[in-house]
Amino acid sequence: MILVLGGTGEARRLAGELPDVISSLAGRVRTPRLPPGEVRVGGFGGPEGLRKWLRDNKIDAVIDATHPFAARMTATAARVTAEEDLPFVVLRRPGWTQGPGDDWRWVDSVASAALSLTAERVFLTTGREELFEFVGLGNWFLARSVEPPEPPVPQRLHVVLDRGPFTVEGELALMREHNIQALVTKDSGGEMTAAKLTAARELGIPVVIVRRPPLPDGVVTVSSVDEAVSWVRGIGAV
């Protein structure tokens, strides 16, 4: 049995291509897109909870296909699987690459992104759980999330509830409608939400991008679903 730590499009695809898979979702979204097959929702209760769950469910290997910024879950899984001598791989889609005409400013955290802002009207796509980092700032913010954010949030905030994939035309219309002067995002990678970067380039808008957190030392990584499937076959788990 293989445990896929999911929540991404890659995780959903992986669950459909491998037999004997249990997909685990963090449960932060009330109506997630569910992968095929068996699914569990919610946290494990820290390292010891994950350890017990892996043993109780006789897991043979773990694939971490979580969001590139789910650093705590990745660190916990890497530690526990190493201690339990379980095969472990991290599936991470490649990050975005800056191209001609892009005005990107890299920072190490959402907090650093907040401190760097000079534009008056800012489009935030960093996730609803980190809007508190922008509390106390005088900027006007447009935030997009799947579900409504909970306080604390910036005083001057307009929220758009939406879920990708997004189009360049849609992103251009949204940014023009709200007279956006800067975009803040994370280096999530992938095509599902990349349209905002193209729209920002076409509008000449600077983009503040949060770098990905580093992966734990020594973990095996793959960058595609096909590579993850090959890894599973290579260790003899299917």
Q: Side chain identity at 104, as an amino acid letter?
A: W
Instruction: Report the pLDDT value the prediction gives residue 238, as an integer from 0 to 100.
Output: 63
β-pairing verdict for 121-125 and 182-186: parallel
In the three-class reduction of DSSP (H, G, I as helix; E, B as strand; rest coil), residue 129 is classed as helix
| HSE value, Cβ hemisphere, 13 Å, CA-based, for 15 | 26
Question: Mean pLDDT, consecutive 10-residue segments, the chain of 238 residues?
Answer: 95 94 88 89 95 98 96 97 97 95 97 97 95 97 94 96 93 98 96 94 98 96 97 85
Q: Which long-range CB contacts under 8 A does 39-48 form with residues at least 24 apart?
A: 44/76, 46/76, 47/76, 47/79, 47/80
- Dihedrals φ, ψ of 5, to 5°? -80, 115
Q: How far apart are CA 42 and CA 64, in angstroms?
A: 15
Instruction: Report the pLDDT value the prediction gives residue 201, as an integer from 0 to 100.
Output: 98
Domains and CATH numbers, the chain: 2-93+214-234 (3.40.50.720), 104-210 (3.40.50.720)
